[in-house]
């Protein structure tokens, strides 16, 4: 008999999901004017989790007015008092961490191990870190009299719902702004639980407002005259649309968009840790990561050996029920995303690349894609250029460090890259030549509130996190 792991489900009992959720405006939960709702489902089971209020233009307007009222209170407060509210929020998030983790897993489809060990702790840490900046802005190198924008509009994606909320709200509040935030259509629940945390922290009414909805709701935020700054994380196409929309309005804009990160492996890389880094780089979070290492650039003389190890390691990956503590890969977030991944992967087959997929038992319900890589990929393949946003890796080879740099940089994106080698000077040389905003050497997908994150080129404008990330929310700072 072999060692098979019995199912080890995390209990759902810790979370109470209401049948209907309203908008969070002016410190209260209020129904949308037209009373429309949409549903959010669990992508692993396709069960409906809840009905969510749909915010139309008039609701967004109400939220902006509430944020303006909130700003009157927020801006008069001593900065250290603003900081203490953020500390309270961080502590309550830590207290309710398990509840958040289970809810995030159910709404997003990602494994409980990731929400429990990565998403939620990082989100709380982001508030903790930024709480400490609230009363230290004059030291932050953003000018000697930095001023907030006022009311900021924030639109976040579905891949790390609570973490993206933290990346947006924490610095905005710490710098003295108030916010109107729209979570993604398929993942609103942890944002709405966060609204409860704001109430428990006694955050003044209107400082944080959560409006749920879809692209039209987002457009209403982007175009609202009462909002002086927009922060958006999502696809490059929508990012460009927003940039065009705000042109000429004087609104501040930061964007965190797509990527096609090159993970470069040199011959002297520490192989076992490199394999983990590759796996982590593209299969963590089902590949729904803007900074994923979605192109593996392997030095040709170790390609065969590394790919054998990769295949063997992929056979260990456990795909299945996201609430099972032993699951490594969860569900794809939506049917729509699954179709996109499938289509692009099929183009890989059609264009002559060779597919390898881990053998996984795919559950009957829900949206799933097995971890996959394609070899024989070259720069001209669609799967080498377009962001798949799924667990599909394109393997490209190189012969010299210079060639690796050229191939890595040969893309309109510039968000992230990885370098694997035992040689320090080569790490620094490669980092120097890569046109990417975040470079991981001998590691991958590491995030920290103190570490600035953002992209070159079409991966966006501005940075989030660290001292550099504060500039996004202060007028006059660059």
Partner 1 sequence: MVTTAGALTDGSLSSIKGFLKTLSPVDQVGADARAAMLATRSIKTASKKWAIDMAISMIDLTTLEGADTDGKVKAICNKAIRPDPTDPTVPHVGAICVYNDMVTVARKHLDESGGQDIPVAAVSTAFPSGRASLEVKERDTKDAIANGATEIDMVIDRGAFLSGDLEKVFSEIVYIKSLCADKAHLKVILETGELVTYDNVRKASFLAMAAGADFIKTSTGKVAPAATAPVVLVMLEAVRDFYQMTGVRIGVKPAGGIRTTKDAIKQLVLVKETAGDEWLNPGLFRIGASALLNDLLMQRQKLTSGHYGGANYVTLD
Partner 2 sequence: MSNSKSRLDVKKTYKLFIAGAFPRSESGRTYEVKDSKGEFVANPSLASRKDLRDAVVAARSAHGGWAGATAFNRGQILYRIAEMMEGRSAQFIDEIVALEGLTPSAAKKQVEEAIDLWVWYSGWCDKIGSIYGSTNAVSGSFYNFTIPDSLGVVAVFAPAKPSLLGLVHSLAPVLAGGNTAIVIASEKYPLSAITLSEAIGTSDVPGGVVNILTGSAAELAPWAASHMDIDGIDATGLSAAQEKEVRIAGADNLKRISTFKDGASPQRVLAFMENKTVWHPIGV
Q: Which residues are designated catalytic? A: 256, 290
Question: Is 133 a residue that touches partner 2 (CB under 8 A)?
Answer: yes
416-445 residues near partner 1, rule: CB under 8 A = 422, 442-443
Task: For the CB of residue 312, give the shortest distance to partner 1 in the complex, in Å.
Answer: 9
Helix (H, G, I), strand (E, B) or coil at 148: strand
Here's the x/- map for partner 1, 96-135, by CB under 8 A: it reads as -----------------x---x------------------
Question: Is 265 a residue that touches partner 1 (CB under 8 A)?
Answer: no
Question: Is 432 a residue that touches partner 2 (CB under 8 A)?
Answer: yes
Task: For the CB of residue 203, give the shortest distance to partner 2 in the complex, in Å.
Answer: 17
Task: For the CB of residue 78, give the shortest distance to partner 2 in the complex, in Å.
Answer: 9
Going by the DSSP 8-state scheme, the letter that residue 138 receives in this structure is G
Q: Is 20 exposed, middle or buried (CB count within 10 Å of its CB: 0-12, 13-18, 19+)? A: exposed
Bridge partners, 232 (sequence order):
155, 255
Identify which of residues 49 and 86 has a Cβ nearer to partner 2 in the complex.
86
Residues in Cβ contact with 173 at an 8 Å cutoff, skipping those fewer than 6 apart: 74, 82, 85, 86, 130, 134, 179, 207, 208
Could you tell me where the beta strands, DSSP code E, fall in 239-381?
Answer: 252-256, 262-265, 295-299, 354-357, 372-375
Among 273, 336, 339, 406, binds partner 1 (CB under 8 A): 273
Among 18, 202, 237, 272, binds partner 1 (CB under 8 A): 272
Task: For the CB of residue 4, give the shortest distance to partner 1 in the complex, in Å.
Answer: 6
Residue 380 binding result from partner 1, partner 2, none, given CB thresholds of 5 to 8 Å by partner type? none
Structure tokens at 129: 């870190």
Q: HSE on the CB side for 428, CA within 13 Å?
A: 3
374-413 residues near partner 2, rule: CB under 8 A = 401-402
Bridge partners, 252 (sequence order):
229
Stretch that binds partner 1, among 162-170, 206-214, 265-273, 292-300 (CB under 8 A): 265-273
List Cβ<8 Å contacts ≥24 apart for 4-12. 5/318, 5/326, 7/321, 7/324, 8/324, 8/325, 8/326, 9/321, 9/323, 9/324, 9/325, 10/101, 10/102, 10/105, 10/112, 10/116, 10/323, 10/324, 10/325, 11/102, 12/102, 12/106, 12/323
Place of tokens 């175009």: 223
288: left (phi over 0), alpha (psi -120 to 50) or beta: beta
Number of H helices, E strands in the chain: 16, 20
Question: Is 354 a residue that touches partner 1 (CB under 8 A)?
Answer: no
Identify which of residues 167 and 373 has a Cβ nearer to partner 2 in the complex.
167
Stretch that binds partner 1, among 271-279, 344-352, 364-372, 394-402 (CB under 8 A): 271-279
Structure tokens at 67: 């944020």
Distance CA 117, CA 352 (A): 39
Identify which of residues 28 and 423 has a Cβ nearer to partner 2 in the complex.
423
Among 12, 28, 72, 139, binds partner 2 (CB under 8 A): 139
Among 94, 245, 326, 451, binds partner 1 (CB under 8 A): 326
Q: HSE on the CB side for 123, CA within 13 Å?
A: 30
Question: Is 424 a residue that touches partner 2 (CB under 8 A)?
Answer: yes
Structure tokens at 344: 């692009």
Identify which of residues 199 and 443 has a Cβ nearer to partner 1 in the complex.
443
Going by the DSSP 8-state scheme, the letter that residue 314 receives in this structure is H
Stretch that binds partner 1, among 3-11, 66-74, 102-110, 367-375 (CB under 8 A): 3-11
Question: Is 6 a residue that touches partner 1 (CB under 8 A)?
Answer: yes
Question: Is 8 a residue that touches partner 1 (CB under 8 A)?
Answer: yes
Structure tokens at 95: 């207290």
Stretch that binds partner 2, among 133-141, 253-261, 268-276, 347-355 (CB under 8 A): 133-141
Identify which of residues 113 and 251 has a Cβ nearer to partner 1 in the complex.
113
54-113 residues near partner 2, rule: CB under 8 A = 80, 83-84, 87
Residue 132 binding result from partner 1, partner 2, none, given CB thresholds of 5 to 8 Å by partner type? partner 2
- Judged by the rule CB under 8 A, the positions of this chain that interact with partner 1 are 1-8, 113, 117, 268-274, 276-277, 316, 325-326, 422, 442-443
- Judged by the rule CB under 8 A, the positions of this chain that interact with partner 2 are 80, 83-84, 87, 125, 128-129, 131-133, 135-136, 139-141, 401-402, 424-426, 428-429, 432, 448-450, 466-467
């Amino acid at each position: 008999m072999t060692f098979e792991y019995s199912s080890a489900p995390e209990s759902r009992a810790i979370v109470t999901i209401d049948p209907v959720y309203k908008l969070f405006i002016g410190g209260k939960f209020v129904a949308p004017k037209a009373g429309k709702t949409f549903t959010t489902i669990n992508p692993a089971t396709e069960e409906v989790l809840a009905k969510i209020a749909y915010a139309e233009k008039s609701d967004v307007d109400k939220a902006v007015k509430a944020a303006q009222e909130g700003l009157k209170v927020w801006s008069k407060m001593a900065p250290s008092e603003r900081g203490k509210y953020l500390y309270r929020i961080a502590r309550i998030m830590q207290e309710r961490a398990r509840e958040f983790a289970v809810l995030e897993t159910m709404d997003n489809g990602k494994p409980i191990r990731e929400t429990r060990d990565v998403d939620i702790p990082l989100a709380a840490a982001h508030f903790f870190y930024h709480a400490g900046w609230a009363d230290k802005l004059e030291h932050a190198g953003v000018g000697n009299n930095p001023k907030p924008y006022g009311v900021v509009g924030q639109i976040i994606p579905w891949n790390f719902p609570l973490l993206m909320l933290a990346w947006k709200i924490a610095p905005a509040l710490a710098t003295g702004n108030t916010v109107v935030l729209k979570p993604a259509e398929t993942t609103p629940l942890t944002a709405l639980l966060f609204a409860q945390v704001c109430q428990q922290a006694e955050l003044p009414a209107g400082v944080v407002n959560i409006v749920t909805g879809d692209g039209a709701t987002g457009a209403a935020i982007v175009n609202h005259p009462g909002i002086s700054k927009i922060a958006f994380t999502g696809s490059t196409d929508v990012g460009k649309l927003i940039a065009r929309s705000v042109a000429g309005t004087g609104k501040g804009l930061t964007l965190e968009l797509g990527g096609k990160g090159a993970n470069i492996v040199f011959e002297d890389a520490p192989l076992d840790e490199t394999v983990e880094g590759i796996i982590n780089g593209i299969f963590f979070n089902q590949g729904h990561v803007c900074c994923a290492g979605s192109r593996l650039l392997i030095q040709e003389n170790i390609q065969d050996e590394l790919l054998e190890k990769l295949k063997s390691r992929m056979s260990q990956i456990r795909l299945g029920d996201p609430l099972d503590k032993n699951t490594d890969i969860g569900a794809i977030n939506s049917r729509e995303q699954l179709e996109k991944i499938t289509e692009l992967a099929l183009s890989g087959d059609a264009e002559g690349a060779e597919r390898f997929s881990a053998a996984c038992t795919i559950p009957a319900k829900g949206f799933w894609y097995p971890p996959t890589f394609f070899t024989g990929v070259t720069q001209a393949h669609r799967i080498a250029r377009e962001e798949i946003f799924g667990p599909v890796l394109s393997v490209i080879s190189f012969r010299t460090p210079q060639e690796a740099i050229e191939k890595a940089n040969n893309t309109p994106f510039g968000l992230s890259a990885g370098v694997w080698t035992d040689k320090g000077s080569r790490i620094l040389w490669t980092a120097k030549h890569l046109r990417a905003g975040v470079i991981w050497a001998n590691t991958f997908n590491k995030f920290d509130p103190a570490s600035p994150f953002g992209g070159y080129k079409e991966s966006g404008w501005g940075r989030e996190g660290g001292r550099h990330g504060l500039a996004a929310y202060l007028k006059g700072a660059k």
